[in-house]
Amino acid sequence: MSEKIIILDFGSQYTQLIARRVRELNVYCEIHPYNNLPAFDDDVKGVIFSGSPYSVRQEDAPQIDYADIQNRFPLLAVCYGAQYLAQQQGGEVLPSEIREYGRANLQFVDQESVLLKGVPVQSQVWMSHGDTIKEIPSNFKIIASTDKVSVAAYEVEGTRTYGIQFHPEVTHSTDGQVLLKNFVVDICGCSQDWTPDTFVETTVAELKAQLGDDHVIMALSGGVDSTVAAVLLHQAIGKNLHCIFVDHGLLRKNEYEQVLDSYKNMGLNIRGINAKELFFGRLTGVSEPEQKRKIIGASFIDVFDQASKDIQHELPEGVEAKWLGQGTIYPDVIESISVKGPSATIKSHHNVGGLPDFMKLKVVEPLKALFKDEVRRVGKTLEVDANILGRHPFPGPGLAIRVLGDITEEKVRILQEADDIYIRNLKEAGWYDKVWQAGTIFLPVQSVGVMGDERTYEHVVALRAVGSLDGMTADWIHLPYDLLAKISNEIINHVKGINRVVYDISSKPPATIEWE
Ligand code: XMP
């Protein structure tokens, strides 16, 4: 990367959002915890301090020695950051008389301030703080106020330091992106040349330099992240990338064959491994969800280990695969380093696994700096099959956690048929791309029905379709009744074993997206 902005995280729930907004300006940025500072090399163009769930008045509030940062770089301090600088330099921060949450409007905007260029008086901003800056140090100058908060923004005279009490990164701050652009472009001098094309170019060059003639082994899941990571690696080292795609028998109908074909068409050096028997054998009689996940995780590692040994054996004498490719993306990295506070919410069971220690491979993760939507954009630049790029998230344990209770091949087959009808109809009706994730769940109950003159006693499936940004929260989608009616009819008429279809109208929280 030729230039970057460093965001120091003090634990705000919005820190990731600041990073996303800066990236939307085609400027590369990285989040680091305030208490584990990165090297500030020449490519750093500016620094942003995030907000925090702490009050600067708390004894255990995050502290940072920032004199050097302030001297060397433009600095934008948001919320807690702004209060912290004001307090440290002799100002006074007190609890707000009225707690300031939500929308406010800027009554005063200093039109001369570079930071606020193009931000109009009355501009709506988003406040979220329990403290307020009552007194500013003598070298601070107020550059914006609301009717309740006189120090809504300040600049520190004789420096390139700015503080803002509101959150420019949330969309409710209508001119927030203008302000961020003023900071990163006009004040920091970033050239906005960080695009998917330049990312591909620099990453492929870096991978070539890092890997040379080495061989890399990588498991693909059919999902966006592992696929895009593999294509980048493939561009860098070609056939020296050895991909493995495991069929655990718990994918959607025909998915294994289709995805394997797509991978072959992309020119990847891939081997498909049919491990259905092993997975079903180990899952027989198991109905507890976490137990299923553990068995699947462990079996996957066994299959992968065997496949990687096979690959090692096939390599010429003296050549050894030293690397494991992974599709890790930036939110996973941030999560593991994030400061304790609301932004540190831990995803419990997701993407567990990683590198089993008996495989002593070094890890290469070409996407570890990217957010999910950036991975999709890079995938598009790399001309990855639209089918894979637009695909809904799908859990690693697959249909095992969508057949509630114990799993049999027959239940999985029935679920695959019903799910295939559901997903096909969503696609045909133009709903698939509007939905974040959809799936069918096989319920462990039977209910009475009637078909012709016959009484039936068969299974129920539930349909789920949710909208979400990141899977952490989600709401059910209001699919049209006539579409639901069509899907229900088709499933009941075509899938033997199902006589009832229900639609899940629960949001997350308190429900989850999956049923297990
Ligand atoms: P929940 O059900 O927790 O799901 O609301 C949130 C997102 O995570 C996916 N999910 C999983 N992904 N292994 C995975 O790789 C799992 O065990 C797992 N459980 C849930 C789920 O599909 C949704 O996208």
Task: Parse the chain into domains and list their residue ranges.
Answer: 4-187, 196-389, 402-503
In angstroms, what is the span from residue 472 Cα to ligand 1's centroid?
10
pLDDT (tens digit per residue) in 75-126: 999 999 999 999 999 999 999 887 678 899 999 999 999 999 999 999 999 9
Phi then psi dihedrals of residue 271, to 5 deg = -120, 130
Annotated binding site for ATP: 221-227
| Residue 155 CB burial class (10 angstroms; 0-12, 13-18, ≥19) | buried
Non-local CB neighbours of 366 within 8 Å, separated by 6+ positions: 203, 207, 229, 232, 233, 325
Q: Please, what is the Cα angle at 241 between 236 and 247, to 5 degrees?
A: 135
Helices (H), 32-116: 67-72, 80-88
Helices (H), 217-357: 224-237, 255-265, 276-283, 289-314, 330-337
pLDDT at 341: 52
Hey, what's the torsion of the CAs at 130, 131, 132, 135, to 10 degrees? 170
Instruction: For residue 144, give the nearest of 110, 102, 112 by alpha carbon.
Output: 110
In angstroms, what is the span from residue 5 Cα to ligand 1's centroid?
32
Residues 231, 379 contacting (CB under 8 angstroms): yes
Residue nearest to atom 3 of ligand 1 (CA): 512
With the most atoms of ligand 1 within 8 angstroms of its CB, the residue from 224, 513, 515, 516 to mutate is 513
CATH class name, domain 402-503: alpha beta
Q: 402-503: same fold as 196-389?
A: no
Q: Considering the domain 196-389, what is its CATH architecture? A: 3-Layer(aba) Sandwich (3.40)
Taking the C-alpha atoms of residue 400 and residue 404, their distance in angstroms, rounded to an integer, is 8
Topology annotation, domain 4-187: Rossmann fold (3.40.50)
Higher pLDDT, 344 or 30: 30
Higher pLDDT, 329 or 338: 329
pLDDT (tens digit per residue) in 457-477: 999 999 999 999 878 889 999
Residues 106, 121 contacting (CB under 8 angstroms): yes
Taking the C-alpha atoms of residue 372 and residue 379, their distance in angstroms, rounded to an integer, is 11
Taking the C-alpha atoms of residue 500 and residue 446, their distance in angstroms, rounded to an integer, is 9
Residue 187 has pLDDT above 60, yes or no: yes
Residues 430, 424 contacting (CB under 8 angstroms): no
pLDDT at 351: 42
CB atoms within 10 A of CB 126: 19
pLDDT at 345: 41
Instruction: Give Cα separations from 178 to 115, 168, 182, 230, 512 (angstroms).
Output: 9, 9, 6, 36, 36
In angstroms, what is the span from residue 445 Cα to ligand 1's centroid?
23
Cβ–ligand 1 distance for 351 under 6 Å, the answer yes
Give the pLDDT mean for 185-194.
97
